[in-house]
Amino acid sequence: MKKAYYVWLFLLVFFLLQNNVTAQEEKKLIIVAIDSLTLNDLYFSQYNNLNHIINNASIGLMNTRTAGNSTREKAYVTLGADNRGSALTGSANGYNLYEKIYSTKTIDMFIRNTGLIPSYENIVNPEIKKIKDINFYSEYGAKAGYLGEKLKENGFKRAVIGNGDLLNENHREIFSVLMDKQGIVDLGRVDRSLLIKDPLFPTGYRSDFQMLLETTKIYLKQSDVVAVQISDLYRIEQESESLFETQKNKFKDQILTEIDDYLGKLINSEEFDNTALIILSPYPSNEAIKIGERLTPVIYFTNDTPRGLLYSSTTRRKGIIANIDIAPTILKYFNIDYSEATGSEILTLKNENNLNFIWNINKKATLNYNIRPIVIKAFILSEIVLLFIFIVFLLLHKSIKPFIPSALKIIVIALMNIPLVLILLPLTNYDNINSAVFYILILTASLTIIFYMITSRTTFVLNFNKIFFVCAATVVFLAIDIFTRGNLIKFSLLGYCPIIGARYYGLGNEYLGILLGSSIVSLSMIKRFTNFQVIPVITLAVLVLIIGHPELGANVGGMITAVLTFSLLAIKWICKKIRIVHVFVSGLMVFFVLFFAVIQDIWFSTAPTHLGSTIISLKQKGLLILFRIVHRKISMNLKLLNWTIWSQVLLTSVGVLAFVFYHPIGIMNKVINKHPFIKDVFLGTFTAVFIGMMVNDSGVVTAATSLIHPVMTLVYLVIDETFHVEIKKS
């Protein structure tokens, strides 16, 4: 009986394991890439099957950023790569072996170029070397074909279907999503047999949706992952300038109706059992790009997916993901390790109002993307104009009217308030450029009046304490917002942008500079009118934590800048003088802070930041990844230095500082003697500018914004000193 029991137990465990393996093998996934699909098409959908999918799925918006300037080809390559990918025009296409390319059989060209002999059912890219080379030398060093290679290594079959061919152009970019590193996909059909020649449809071709459906079902039985490309909306776009609006809308409705029918029959077919469906638009439509809507819709649908929002640790933003998250999500679906990838798994968050939520996010992101450059340029140009007026004031100070210095000081305080105003602006309900400017002016005037009222009723050691209140308020509001997950910064016009996609959370380089500059000024002022050193030193330590902690500011370059800058300031306050050994101590502090930040990020953080991801990449890919990071930082700074608006304000600020040191003669000595804290301000500022330039991707931005409050403080003091000197002379 005992032996029989063990035999029965063994058979039971074996049976359960076999069932688990079988279930795992039957798990399938379909990717339907619909070129030029927009959020409007989903939000105003009158199509039953599409509405059913949306109402029973998790949806989100996808950032489509790639290496270099984004294109459709690069966007497709990125979906299948481990990082932001690159491609040359036409290099991302796959072909059936029996097709011809420039009068040469695909199979012959592929064997000639690669030395590999493919199976007759394979889809191949004879130009795979071009894609691999351009990605290897690109700024991110992406591995093209990463997703397909990982699926192949783990025994999962891949199939690609469809194309976006035009009359004289081939567009089979879907191939690059599932290709392996050799430029091969197991199965598929990407030739023009899936198209109908139709001279009455834009470009003369349209998809044969019945054939597309039958082909999808066939390959779904034979493979584990199927990727389908539907490009008829893209074809309409190619001739949109020649089409009357009524014709364009008619064609769009025709195609969306056919897509709706295709999706409905697909999800209701027996082949769809135990299958997940990802519907996405790899790259925004031309029409969407024109109006700034660069985030594209993504739908994740299974039989048990909750109605909700998509989310990933890459963005840490509800409803927003990145295209580099697609490959990790597919690998995770099949329980395959994706630790080499830069992106992360897409998760679903329950939300019954998902479509409206996404619509509002897209509306706000698009509005900010469109008006951001206008507002920032206006702010920076106002600062530059003020600095030039200030120089004229210094040159003509002997004949200046008394009311002009007073007016200039008010303008200085008003401009110093702008970064704080742009933090508070998301609390208003602006919905266009006019209302945004209106609220900016109202908030700026209100804050300026408030600070003047406070200082007029406050006994303060410094007669220019308005500067202190402006800088201190900026630091406090920034710190509070970062502690509360950056709900204001992420929607601020001076914050980061999900459409640009350089950063999605934490503290961006613009406000990093603002925080550094305003904290240096306010804390230096506190230190100079009190001998109590504990408060400013502790505040500096707290600010380092805010800037660098993975769950707060998550800005590695900012943390390095802050540690060096703030440690030198603290040493100056405590030891009175800075020696070489102190610089060495500051460097050691950077090392220890980075060490603990790495431990926190990798072991304790819910989602690794850039720092944790870099350390993981270094372990997996070696020092090459470090060289790429350094190269990218240098390239970005050189690009920004190429006379951008930020380089202009940086150079203007530096020029004004140099001018003030020499004219009027002796004015700087008088200011420093009367307000010795200014020496600490510029010790910290110059350190922040230099280090910030070196260690940040957009170091020019950090340097420029970190100068705003210190330079404006000096301008205020010089105006005040020069004016009083003239009064005494008269």
Element (H, E) at 126: none
State the Cα angle at 357 between 353 and 361, rounded to 5°.
Answer: 175
Report whether the peptide linkage leading into residue 664 is cis, meaning its omega lies within 30 degrees of zero: yes
Can you say whether the dihedral through the CA atoms of 295, 92, 324, 695 is positive or negative? Answer: negative
pLDDT, residue 607, reads 56
Residue 701, Cβ density class (10 Å: 0-12 exposed, 13-18 middle, ≥19 buried): buried
Give the bridge partners for 124, in sequence order: 95, 184
Q: Which residues contact 253 (CB under 8 A, 6 or more apart)?
A: none
Ranges of beta strands (E only) in 315-404 are: 320-322, 346-350
- pLDDT in the model for residue 21: 44
State CA 559 to chain mean position distance.
Answer: 19
User: Checking DSSP bridges between strand 187-189 and strand 158-161, what pairing results, if any?
Assistant: parallel
pLDDT score of 568: 85
Enumerate the β-bridge partners of residue 62.
Answer: 296, 321
Helix (H) or strand (E) holding 38: none
Question: Hey, CA dihedral for 232, 237, 242, 247, is it positive or negative?
Answer: positive
Structure tokens at 632: 């990218």
What secondary structure does DSSP assign to 448-488, as a single string?
Answer: HHHHHHHHHTS--SSTTTHHHHHHHHHHHHHHHHHHTTTTT
- The 3 state secondary structure assigned to 349-366 is EECCCHHHHHHHHHHHHH
Q: Please, what's the b/e burial string for 478-508 (b: 16 or more CB within 10 A of its CB; e: otherwise)?
A: bbebbeeebebbbbbbbbbbbbebebbbbbb
Distance in angstroms (rounded) separating the CA atoms of residues 156 and 143: 19
Q: Which residues contact 633 (CB under 8 A, 6 or more apart)?
A: 695, 696, 697, 699
pLDDT score recorded for residue 580? 75
pTM: 0.88
- DSSP codes, 672-687: HHH-THHHHHHHHHHH
Neighbours of 253 (CB within 10 A): 12
Residues of the chain with pLDDT under 50: 6-7, 11, 19-24, 459-463, 725-730
Pairing of strands 28-34, 275-280: parallel
